[in-house]
Amino acid sequence: AQTVTQSQPEMSVQEAETVTLSCTYDTSESDYYLFWYKQPPSRQMILVIRQEAYKQQNATENRFSVNFQKAAKSFSLKISDSQLGDAAMYFCAYIGSNYQLIWGAGTKLIIKP
Amino acid sequence: DTEVTQTPKHLVMGMTNKKSLKCEQHMGHRAMYWYKQKAKKPPELMFVYSYEKLSINESVPSRFSPECPNSSLLNLHLHALQPEDSALYLCASSQTTSGGNTDTQYFGPGTRLTVL
């Protein structure tokens, strides 16, 4: 069975600085997708970034980028130039052949002004 | 446009009430999902509809009854709920459930349910 692990329950960063959130996963599948979702206090689960396992190039979306290490089964999220609006719970998630999302436990990101 | 809408935003109900949660998407997606989320936890999958047919029911109690009237709408009918059912209920949709890029799920803002 696939698992997703986020080992940092909480992280804090100074506004305008860079922070990296960690995620590791376990799977025997070779074709899958990985996601980072953001859930601010407003509750809506927002897709931040998506990575296809067959692509070696790391996905980027503006200030958000990932470091995808397939062999190590690692999928970290880097947020550059952190802003107050980035404060949220961040969930790492995996989807494979059975189309059901497997979620990590989440990391609460605090932005210090 | 990746918008999924949910109504109501908040719902308070007694254990003997019957209520419904509604979800709508206009992205042409053919798969829709209901999740239950407790505070500070990831969402838990409840139901999946694919092409308007129920494809997954994750052993959810019968007091939760899903309905998919058409490809854009998803309802969750609630009856005789328990206080432990209080949670955030999230709806999501994806293009398909056939694997690959089209499985990316987009979420609505959720309904905060409180059962007294």
Contact A46, A85 (CB under 8 A): no
Quick: pLDDT tens for A54-86.
988 999 999 999 999 999 999 999 999 999 999
Q: Which of B99, B104, B107 sits opposite A44 (nearest CB)?
A: B107
**Chain A residues 80-109 with a CB less than 8 Å from chain B:** 89, 91, 93, 95, 97, 99-101, 103-106, 108
Distance between CA atoms of residues A79 and A77, nearest Å: 7
pLDDT score of B63: 95
Q: Which two tokens stand for residue B4?
A: 């999924």
Average pLDDT over residues B81-102: 88
Residue type, A112: K
User: Contact B105/A101, CB-based, under 8 Å?
Assistant: yes
Instruction: Name chain B contacts of A33, Cβ cutoff 8 Å.
Output: 100-101, 103-104
DSSP state of A84: G
Which residues of B touch chain A, with CB atoms under 8 Å apart? 2, 31, 40-43, 45, 48, 56, 88, 90, 92, 94, 97-101, 103-110, 112
* Omega cis (within 30) before B8: yes
Distance between CA atoms of residues B1 and B49, nearest Å: 21
Q: Which of A31, A45, A95 sits opposite B90 (nearest CB)?
A: A45
Q: Is B85 helix (H, G, I), strand (E, B) or coil?
A: helix
Residues 6+ away with beta carbon under 8 Å from B95: B27, B28, B29, B30, B31, B102, B103, B104
How much of chain A exceeds pLDDT 70, in percent? 100
Instruction: Name chain A contacts of B92, Cβ cutoff 8 Å.
Output: 45
- Listed in order, strand segments (DSSP E) in chain B are 4-7, 10-13, 18-25, 31-37, 44-50, 53-57, 64-70, 73-79, 87-94, 106-107, 111-115
Mean pLDDT of chain A: 95
Q: Please, how many CA atoms are within 13 Å of residue A72, restricted to the half-sphere of its CB? A: 9
Q: Is B103 helix (H, G, I), strand (E, B) or coil?
A: helix
Instruction: Name chain B contacts of A108, Cβ cutoff 8 Å.
Output: 40
Question: For the ranges A28-32, A85-89, B73-77, which has the lowest average pLDDT?
Answer: A28-32
Quick: pLDDT tens for B3-49.
999 999 999 999 889 999 999 999 999 999 999 999 999 999 999 99
For chain B, say whether A34 makes contact (Cβ under 8 Å): no
Q: Please, how many CA atoms are within 13 Å of residue B96, restricted to the half-sphere of its CB? A: 6
Cα–Cα distances in angstroms (integers) from residue B74 to residues A40, B10, B58, B88, B111, in the given order: 24, 17, 17, 16, 13
